[in-house]
Amino acid sequence: MSDVLNNDRVWIGFDLGGTKMNAMLFDSAFEVRGRRRKKSRGSEGVDAGVERIILGIQKLLEESEVSPDRLGGIGIGCPGPLNLEEGVILELPNLGWKNVPLKRLLEKEFGCPAFVCNDVDSGMYGEFQFGAAQGARTAIGLFPGTGIGGAMIFEGKIFRGKTGSCLEIGHIPVMADGPFCGCGQRGCLETVASRLAMSAEIAKAAYRGQAPYILRVAGTDLANIRSGTIKEAIDAGDKIVEAIIRDGARQLGVVLAGTVNLLAPDVIVLGGGLVEALPKLFLEEVGKSIAARIMPSYLKTYELRVASLGDDSGAMGAAAWARHCVEN
């Protein structure tokens, strides 16, 4: 394809979260030319939801004063499970969606290639292209939130396994007869080290009266114990809160140690709201835990970093992945 055509192209990245949508438009130099953020509304059903995505992209193009025929491609990061080849969302429980052929619908509407990818993968690809994992040959990402997302970029591409997305670091078993997990197993890493799991421990401590700041500000409802609240509680001197978070970070490091022994990455990126609220604590505790457990010959072969793109990583990565897929 000609350089002229290439230079004129724009790319859209869309991050379809269970609660938020983030759409961004990039020019051919990958400078941000426009953006829109909206809440995802599960209650309105599939048709209205898809309509909202399409309208969002149309408005983004209008606001950025870009004609749709300049679209090089659209990348859209979605929570799984997905059929990546067909670009179908198989299930999106938070929105109540099933079997939505998003790739086909977007391609029909906009007349350009569209690519559906796993949201953790697109976020990590964003960090690889523009953020904390730039320049890595093998980059592992770990994002503790409601669950724990994992992803790997290997030699410039999203690493995928037999079932499409993989790197399910959150479902590595860490505790025999441990807590029940959303995946149907028990004792997975995310049952003890996700933000949700740690919030539940913090809520218990608050209920027992050991976390006075939390009890005062958030009560014992773990839905109120969010990343910012946790950081404030630690700053305010709730010792048990810090101990719980440090122990969760230690557990992340146990599993990352095994991951280093397996995959010998050069970069490990920690991300998500809680990590980004407490970057120093996580770097310190996870780093110590990995170093104490890996094969000694792997010491100093990797760098542990905190994600740097925040909520934009998904949309940025999805757009960049669309470009990668079109151009390769």
Binding site for its own copies (CB under 8 A): 81, 137-138, 150, 154, 159-164, 166-169, 171-173, 183-185, 254-255, 257-259, 261-266, 293-298, 301-302
Q: Which is nearer to its own copies, 95 or 188 (CB)?
A: 188
Euclidean distance between CA atoms 231 and 202, whole angstroms: 12
Please provide residue 13's backbone torsions phi and psi, each rounded to the nearest 5 degrees: -115, 135
Q: Which is nearer to its own copies, 181 or 277 (CB)?
A: 181
Question: Considering the complex, what minimum distance in angstroms separates the CB of residue 296 from its own copies?
Answer: 4
- Letter for the amino acid at 80? G
Which residues lie below 8 Å from residue 169, measured CB to CB, with a gap of 6+? 140, 142, 148, 149, 150, 189, 255, 256, 259
Structure tokens, 126? 């964003």
Structure tokens, 124? 């990590």
Q: Which is nearer to its own copies, 241 or 257 (CB)?
A: 257
Q: Where are the beta strands (DSSP E) in the chain?
A: 10-16, 20-26, 32-39, 71-78, 82-83, 88-92, 97-100, 114-118, 138-144, 148-154, 157-158, 267-270, 303-306
- Residues in a beta bridge with 98: 91
Q: Which is nearer to its own copies, 210 or 261 (CB)?
A: 261
Question: Considering the complex, what minimum distance in angstroms separates the CB of residue 107 from its own copies?
Answer: 26
97 membership: H or E segment, kind and range? strand 97-100
Terminal C-alpha separation, the chain: 12
Euclidean distance between CA atoms 324 and 82, whole angstroms: 19
Question: Considering the complex, what minimum distance in angstroms separates the CB of residue 171 from its own copies?
Answer: 5
Question: Considering the complex, what minimum distance in angstroms separates the CB of residue 294 from its own copies?
Answer: 8
Q: Which is nearer to its own copies, 88 or 233 (CB)?
A: 88
Question: Considering the complex, what minimum distance in angstroms separates the CB of residue 41 from its own copies?
Answer: 27
Are residues 133 and 305 in contact, defined by beta-carbon separation less than 8 angstroms?
A: yes
Question: Considering the complex, what minimum distance in angstroms separates the CB of residue 167 from its own copies?
Answer: 6
Question: Considering the complex, what minimum distance in angstroms separates the CB of residue 93 from its own copies?
Answer: 13
Q: Which is nearer to its own copies, 25 or 255 (CB)?
A: 255
Q: Which is nearer to its own copies, 16 or 169 (CB)?
A: 169
Residue pointed to by tokens 């969002």: 56
